[in-house]
Structure 1
Amino acid sequence: MDYNILDIISILSLFIGLFFGVFLFSKHNKNKLSNKIFGAFLILCATDNIFLSKLLHTNFEGLSRFIAFGVFLQLPVFYLYVLSVCYSDFKLKPKHLLHAIPFVIVNILMASTIFGINPDSKVLLLSGLTNDFKNAFIHVFVHIQVVSYLVAVFVVLRRAKKIYLENYANASIAFYTWLFQLTIVISILHSFAILKNIYKFSDYDTFYYWTRILLVLTELIIFCWYVLKALNTPELFKSVDSKLKLASNLVLNDAVTKENKAVNTDVEALQHYMTTKEPFLDSSLTMQDLANQINSNPRDTSVLINHTIGKHFFDFVNEYRIEKAMRILENPAKNKQTVLEILYEVGFNSKSSFNTAFKKHTGSTPTAYRKSNQNQVA
């Protein structure tokens, strides 16, 4: 068999995708389920491979069709992966098999089409090189499915970010940022795929060929980028509890509205507790923890902070941390205390998140704030 540049890149992509996929399946850690789901996603992407298709089309018709239509499982599996990363209580359930319905439908449709036709026609049909209606329908159908699932993923990410901000005070939403970036990259990858298929049904063979090369090369880069990132920085994936409700939903479902006077009293009591007991010094403080400390329940505390006060729990807690950091930076007796020591003392767990929150609250960096106060004193 003669190898061209497309075959070489495809072989590399196939090998690396399968290698990382199998590796994630065998890796045992606290993200075991997420690893397995993403391993399945990588294997599906790797086997949706031009070189592999060439090898299988002629001699393994059934396996070739099964693998070719694995593209209908890629985005559903990715969607389940995002759920497993975002929500700590996620479990695979029988209802998730419903995501495989398009895959089953297309296999049945193609099986009925190729039954009884000659071998050469089968190869052309399975290779996607015919312009018949069913082949065009399958291409359109898969792109509609891809767009639908990408929209669903963005919706999940948006909700998970809101829940995180309303219930957790860890100064990081890296899990959201990372998954958002990955989804953007996958969206771009599938945009290339749409472009490739437009050229596929046209007379621009050269454009079609080079678009295929670009697509496979991009896929290869994504395999390496994602897996190395995930393995090197597992702390990115901090999930939330899917049972937690957004404050806006709690308010809408709450049949009883407190009197304004009572609400103001609750707010004052909470603010007093924050300033005197300083629970925000705990870097892992959650809405549940704070509710327990003030002898309340997470539902009422969430509504009080996220709705009544009008701030995310994330921002509410960080403001107290920043205020305490400002007092330390203003104190001449603590000039020898480094910014790194201060950020850990007030409850932050990374310098970048502390600097971002500090600048958002004061308009300057911690170092600049300290210098400006020293100059005023002088």
Structure 2
Amino acid sequence: MDSLNMQGLFAIIANFISFLMSFFLLTVKSKNRLGNILLAVFIMLCSIDVSGIILGQSLTNNKELYEIIKSTSFLIFPFFYFYVLSICYIDFKLKIKFLCHLIPFISYNLIILIAYLFTQNDLMQLKLNNLLLFFNTYILKFQALIYLITIVHELKIYKKIFLENYTYGNIGIYKWLSRIVMVFLVTLPLSTIKDLSYFSYHQKIFSLSVIILTSVALLMLCWFILKALYSPDFFRGVYYDMNTFRRNKNGENKAIELELSSDSLALMEQLRKHMINKQPFLEPKLTLQELALQMGIPARKLSLLINQYSRQHFFDFVNMYRVEKAIEIIEKSEKKEYTIQQIYFEVGFNTKSSFNTAFKKHTGLTPSEFKKSKIIDFSTNNKKMV
């Protein structure tokens, strides 16, 4: 099978899987309907992009239509950016101001329109073709890089909000999306090589680049499907008001820090007693707002108190008490028969992975290793007593 046929085969497979996945996302009932729609559009745009080689051959007599189809590449990263926001933040909505993200796409199509109107002017055609080439080779790659950097920034904000306000679930969304961004960053130079080899008539390099990019697209698509099937609760976002958060970071925090300086030690002691006596950490879905309500202080003040005097995020602070409770259960001889699953459910964790991560961070051992060591110690002590 020659490289051209292989490209076509990969493109057909990618289009078929993309269509099925998009159809599923658009028809399935979900709480995150907007996220599903954005992901479906993103997948179809990627499919159109990687199948460009077939479109290029079949539309040689209609250059304008081919260029219009190619212009959809300028929509890929805006829709990926919107998708990231939609799964990170439950209250995300599309707004009129987001239309500015369509400027490169509209600009490219305006150039195509002008080129169509001036088909008889060879000099104008040459200039416009060079401009389209500039858009495809440089502007498109620059746009992708800017969006990827912006997404990384938004993911860092999401991680900060999650750690400071929530304790249930894990930080999996951040890690997973970060890996996807890394894949895009790796394939970006390869995409540039593909374009340059096409315009410089290096057919072998171009064909190989297309095959690799199509393969990566297929693997990423399968990755999306498996993640959605096996981790349906994985795409649970957080509530977030960007303007409020950024305003708090600047002005409000300084005022609260001054207030904390006078009564911080007393508040911290009150918080520790509350955690030990009332054990609010046993609630799997405990949030910063709920704990602040129990303490009778503003949530932002509680967050700064924990950050400054325990040197931890809210997420790690609460999990520390959960791990200590788990250690207490393991060390009780009458509860040696407890399974790891029973223990992490009892102390407030809702997934084994988050329990293992927190436990190892606190003790240096996994729960199984720690439990095994305690059982050995208990048996040794019994033998000595006998």
So what's the TM-score if we normalise by structure 1?
0.90
Residues 267-289 of structure 1: per-residue CA shift (max 9 Å, x gap): 11111100000000011111111
Q: Tell me the equivalent position of 1:8.
A: 9
Percent identity of equivalent pairs: 37
Establish whether residue 268 from structure 1 lines up as the match of residue 266 from structure 2: no
What one-letter code is carried by the residue in structure 2 that aligns with 1:196?
K
**Is the contact made by 2:329 and 2:335 (CA closer than 8 Å) also made in structure 1?**
yes
What is the CA-CA distance between 1:258 and the residue it aligns to?
Answer: 1.8
* Bigger shift: residues 170-179 or 323-332: 170-179
- CA drift at 1:247: 11
**Does the residue aligned with 2:195 lie in a helix, a strand or coil?**
helix
* Structure 2 residue 189 is matched with structure 1 residue 191: yes
Matching of residues 286-301 of structure 1 within 5 Å = 286-301=287-302
Tell me the amino acid that sits aligned with residue 117 of structure 2.
F
In the TM superposition, what are the counterparts of 1:55-204 in structure 2 within 5 Å? Answer: 55-59=58-62, 62-117=64-119, 132=130, 134-204=132-202
CA contact (8 A) 2:289 2:299 kept: yes
- Does 2:303 correspond to 1:305? no
Structure 2 Cα separation of the partners of residues 354 and 185 of structure 1: 28
Q: Show CA shifts across 1:155-194 (max 9, x none).
A: 1111101110110011411111121122222333333211
The alpha-carbon deviation at position 233 of structure 1 amounts to 1.7
TM-fit CA distance, 1:74 = 0.5
3-state SS of the aligned residue for 1:262? helix
Tell me what 1:240 maps to.
238
The answer to whether the 8 Å contact 1:44/1:70 transfers is: yes
1:133 Cα deviation (Å)?
5.1
What's the CA shift for 1:42? 1.0
Kindly state the Cα deviation for residue 66 of structure 1 after the two structures are TM-superposed.
2.3
Give the root-mean-square deviation of aligned CA atoms: 2.8
8 Å CA contact 2:64, 2:112 repeated in 1: no
Question: 1:182-212, CA deviations, whole angstroms, 9 ceiling, x for partnerless residues?
Answer: 2222333333211212322335321112111
Which residue of structure 2 aligns with residue 42 of structure 1?
43
Instruction: Compute the TM-score of the two structures, normalised by the length of structure 2.
Output: 0.88
Report the alpha carbon displacement of residue 354 of structure 1 after superposing the two structures with TM. Answer: 1.1
**Correspondence for 2:366:** 365
* Compared CA separation, residues 145 and 247, structure 1 to 2 (3 A): closer
Mean CA deviation greater in 308-317 or 219-228: 219-228
- How many residue pairs align between the two structures? 371
CA contact (8 A) 2:38 2:79 kept: yes
Deviation at 1:336, TM superposition (A): 1.5
Cross-structure match for 1:230: 228
Residues 34 and 81, structure 1, Cα contact 8 Å, conserved in 2: yes
Name the stretch that deviates more: 289-298 or 157-166.
Answer: 289-298
Shift of 1:293: 1.5
Superposed displacement of residue 138, structure 1: 3.3
Higher helix share: 2
* Cα separation, 2, equivalents of 1:143 and 1:273: 53
Change (3 A) 1:348 1:121: farther
Q: Name the aligned partner's letter for residue 230 of structure 2.
A: N
> Relative to structure 2, which stretch is displaced further, 246-255 or 162-171?
246-255
Partner of 2:255, secondary structure, is coil
Listed as ranges, the gaps of 5+ residues in structure 1 are none
Quick one: structure 1 residues 78 and 114, their matched pair in 2 at CA, closer, same or farther if it must change by over 3 Å? same
AA aligned to 1:218 is: V
Match for 1:146: what amino acid? A
Q: Distance in 2 between matches of 1:370 and 1:8?
A: 53
Q: Tell me the equivalent position of 1:249.
A: 249
Measure the CA separation in 2 of the matches of 1:293 and 1:100.
46
C-alpha distance in structure 1 between counterparts of 2:207 and 2:369, whole Å: 55
3-state DSSP of counterpart to 2:61: helix
Q: Deviations over 1:301-342 (max 9, x none)?
A: 222222343210100000000111111111112112222211
